[in-house]
Amino acid sequence: MHSGHREFVESWLRRRAGTSSAPQLAGDALGAVWERARRSLSDVPLQALARCAVDAAAKEFPVLADLRVGARGFELGACAEAPANELLAGLGGLLVEFLCLMEETSGAILAPALEAELLRVGRTPPQGLRPVAPG
């Protein structure tokens, strides 16, 4: 189970690592999966699962020791000041743990939706295309 999510996250990180700064990418990615998970889970269980994911990932990636989980989601805090390679490695580890916990608790229903949400993070539109303004 971990290996499938690990492969997905590693592939995603390889494609997105240069699209923005490491703190920006981490914040965007964690915000995206948090907001998508909130559509399916209430705040208390979501916070508990996120804290479990942070605790598990921080064992392998000490850079995550200062990362907190609050009512509005993951809070990078001092993690944002870490060297980019350490922060991105920690982000990858945290995303893998979070996806695995979501898969275990949702019967494999929510993890694919979270992966789909991650795919939207850090994407740049093809050259020459601009968003259509309403009205």
What residue segments make up the domains of the chain, in order of their start? 2-118
Q: Quick one: pLDDT at residue 58?
A: 96
Query: Across all residues in the chain, what is the average pLDDT?
Result: 88
Q: Quick one: pLDDT at residue 3?
A: 67
Angle at 111 between CA 101 and CA 89, to 5 degrees: 70
Is residue 62 predicted with pLDDT exceeding 50?
yes
Question: For residue 133, what pLDDT band results from cuts at 50, 70 and 90?
Answer: low
CA separation for the pair 91, 110 (Å, rounded): 19
Alpha helices (H) in 61-120, listed in sequence order: 84-106, 110-120
Q: Quick one: pLDDT at residue 75?
A: 95
Distances (CA, A) of 113 to 35, 38, 49, 99: 11, 12, 16, 10
- What integer is the mean pLDDT of 99-126? 84
User: pTM of this prediction?
Assistant: 0.85
Helix (H, G, I), strand (E, B) or coil at 68: strand
Tens-digit pLDDT profile for residues 23-47? 999 999 999 999 999 999 999 999 9
pLDDT above 90 coverage of the chain, percent: 67
Q: Quick one: pLDDT at residue 135?
A: 56
Q: DSSP class of residue 21?
A: -
3-state percent breakdown (helix, strand, coil) of the chain, nearest 5: 70, 5, 25
- What integer is the mean pLDDT of 108-124? 85
Angle at 94 between CA 55 and CA 70, to 5 degrees: 65
Rg (CA), the chain: 15
Is residue 1 predicted with pLDDT exceeding 50?
no
